[in-house]
């Protein structure tokens, strides 16, 4: 069967249109190219070098900020490690980041510190720095004793996760496995030589100079690095507060104070101390995994209730009102920074509300503090009793010696007695006031000229 010229032309057009479209669907190309000229720098370094829930929240927030700002996330690390769950949170945020990520090790990144740098797109180590020692340990918070974990059900998930982080950029998974099983440590030169890290440099500035011009493909987008400015990222009050509360020694102290205060409150019957005792207990329990968002909500509700009781029910201002202000401050310090979009207000709106409420709470606290100070001053003053001693008046009744009658002193009627006869209308002078409130008066002698 012969094919006509028009049929051949139509068939050719179909081939030219359909085949490229079909191949594009099967094999999408990274045609989108983005030049990134800004960096966001977040630090996991002293004094906040322990990788805990507060540091994890800070880094995760920094990643979100870098994504929204179309910037490179740069993480400077100088840490001995920290908690495994927090390290996984940081590692996952870098692994699934929609923007390029760079990790720079200043001096050391050991244990969990190594785990959080592995998913970064680029790893740079300062010359002489060390990484590794990822074998999990258990630390006794009382004695400080360290015990290595050798159970496979703990080691294998750590190894698997670390390999997932490293495989994406073709890192040496055998050495990564040695980091976990043998607690192996390597210096910057060995790390670059064994392809666990990418660059050995003298400073962060040198690393930025080396990576400018590098292209990184992520999620179908080709990013070209051309970093000209770096913006330091400031962690929130909440994240720093969580880091403090994650310290096991501080948590034990807070928990002990809270329990003892609660026992004292219940035994002595001074229940006004109980809200602060409960607050100490909850703050101490946060290091063991208690949800800080629920604690924040409890503090806000309890603080508002106590402040309302003090203002509208209990006369004056005392421990109940002060406890309410303290709980409100703690609650708003722990309020979540990022809430799902479309469900609740944006992070910027939450920050503005938090600043307003903190300012209001501090203002009210200062005002009531001054009021309380003045009340204490007044209560410490010696009581001053009024006495009409030395005042002059007029006798209303006849007052015989030993009897009681009325006199008028400065417009007020008083019961009085005298040792001499006083007739109605005579001028009198108050000598003293007895304990029973009766005045002792005497007749005012008239002087002649």
- Inside any domain, residue 15: no
Domain finish residue from 334, 352, 380: 380
Beta bridge partners of 394: 408, 427
- Inside any domain, residue 217: yes
Cβ pair 131, 107 in contact under 8 A: no
Same-domain check for residues 170 and 63 = yes
- Inside any domain, residue 25: no
pLDDT at 1: 43
pLDDT at 163: 95
pLDDT at 288: 75
pLDDT at 438: 87
Any residues with CB less than 8 A from the CB of 36 and at least 6 apart, and which?
70, 71, 72, 99, 100, 223, 224, 225, 226, 227
Which residues of the chain are under the pLDDT cut of 50?
1-3, 5, 8-10, 15-30, 338-345, 448-449
Any residues with CB less than 8 A from the CB of 150 and at least 6 apart, and which?
none
CATH number at residue 411: 2.40.50.140
Same-domain check for residues 269 and 179 = no
Same-domain check for residues 149 and 215 = yes
Beta strands 392-395 and 404-409 are antiparallel
- Inside any domain, residue 202: yes
- Inside any domain, residue 339: yes
Cβ pair 331, 296 in contact under 8 A: yes
pLDDT at 22: 40
| 384-416 per-position pLDDT tens digit | 666 788 888 898 888 888 888 899 888 888 888
CATH number at residue 67: 3.90.226.10
pLDDT at 43: 97
- Inside any domain, residue 24: no
Alpha-carbon distance 416 to 434, whole Å? 10
| 46-82 per-position pLDDT tens digit | 999 999 999 999 999 999 999 999 999 999 999 999 9
Same-domain check for residues 351 and 402 = no
- Inside any domain, residue 189: yes
Q: Which domain holds residue 410?
A: 392-443
Same-domain check for residues 84 and 228 = yes
CA neighbor of 35 nearest in space, from 227, 210, 169: 227
């Amino acid at each position: 069967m012969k094919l006509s010229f028009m049929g051949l032309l139509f068939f050719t057009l179909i081939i030219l249109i359909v085949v490229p479209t079909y191949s594009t669907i099967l094999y999408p190309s990274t045609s989108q190219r983005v030049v990134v000229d800004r960096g966001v720098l977040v630090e996991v370094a002293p004094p906040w070098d322990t990788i805990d829930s507060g540091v994890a929240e800070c880094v995760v927030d920094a990643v979100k900020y870098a994504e929204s700002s179309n910037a490179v996330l740069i993480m400077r690390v100088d840490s001995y490690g920290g908690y495994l769950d927090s390290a996984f949170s940081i590692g996952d945020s870098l692994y699934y980041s929609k923007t390029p990520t760079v990790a720079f090790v200043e001096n050391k990144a050991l244990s969990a510190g190594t785990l959080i740098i592995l998913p970064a797109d680029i790893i740079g180590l300062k010359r002489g720095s060390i990484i590794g020692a990822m074998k999990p340990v258990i630390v006794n918070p009382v004695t400080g004793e360290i015990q290595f974990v050798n159970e496979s059900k703990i080691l294998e998930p750590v190894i698997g996760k670390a390999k997932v982080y490293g495989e994406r950029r073709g890192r040496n998974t055998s050495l990564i496995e040695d980091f976990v099983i043998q607690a192996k440590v390597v210096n910057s030169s060995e790390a670059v030589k064994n392809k666990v890290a990418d660059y050995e440099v003298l400073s962060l500035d040198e690393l930025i100079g080396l990576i400018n011009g590098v292209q990184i493909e992520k999620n179908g987008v080709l990013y070209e690095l051309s970093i000209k400015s770096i913006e330091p990222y400031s962690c929130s009050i909440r994240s720093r507060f969580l880091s403090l509360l994650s310290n096991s020694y501080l948590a034990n102290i807070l928990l002990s104070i809270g329990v003892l205060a609660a026992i004292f409150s219940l035994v002595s019957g001074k229940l006004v101390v109980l809200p602060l005792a409960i607050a100490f207990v909850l703050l101490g329990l946060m290091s063991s995994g208690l949800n800080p968002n629920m604690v924040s909500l409890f503090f806000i509700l309890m603080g508002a209730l106590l402040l309302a009781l003090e203002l509208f029910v209990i006369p004056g201002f005392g421990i109940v009102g002060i406890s309410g202000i303290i709980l409100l401050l703690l609650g708003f310090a722990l309020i979540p920074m990022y809430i799902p979009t479309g469900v609740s207000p944006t992070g910027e709106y939450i920050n503005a509300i938090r600043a307003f409420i903190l300012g209001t709470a501090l203002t009210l606290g200062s005002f009531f503090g001054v009021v309380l100070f003045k009340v204490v001053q007044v209560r410490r003053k010696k009581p001053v009793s009024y006495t009409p001693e030395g005042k002059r008046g007029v006798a209303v009744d006849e007052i015989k010696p030993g009897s009681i009658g009325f006199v008028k002193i400065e417009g007020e009627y008083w019961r009085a007695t005298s040792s001499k006869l006083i007739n109605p209308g005579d001028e009198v002078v108050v000598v003293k006031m007895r304990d029973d409130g009766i005045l002792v008066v005497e007749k005012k002698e008239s002087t002649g000229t």
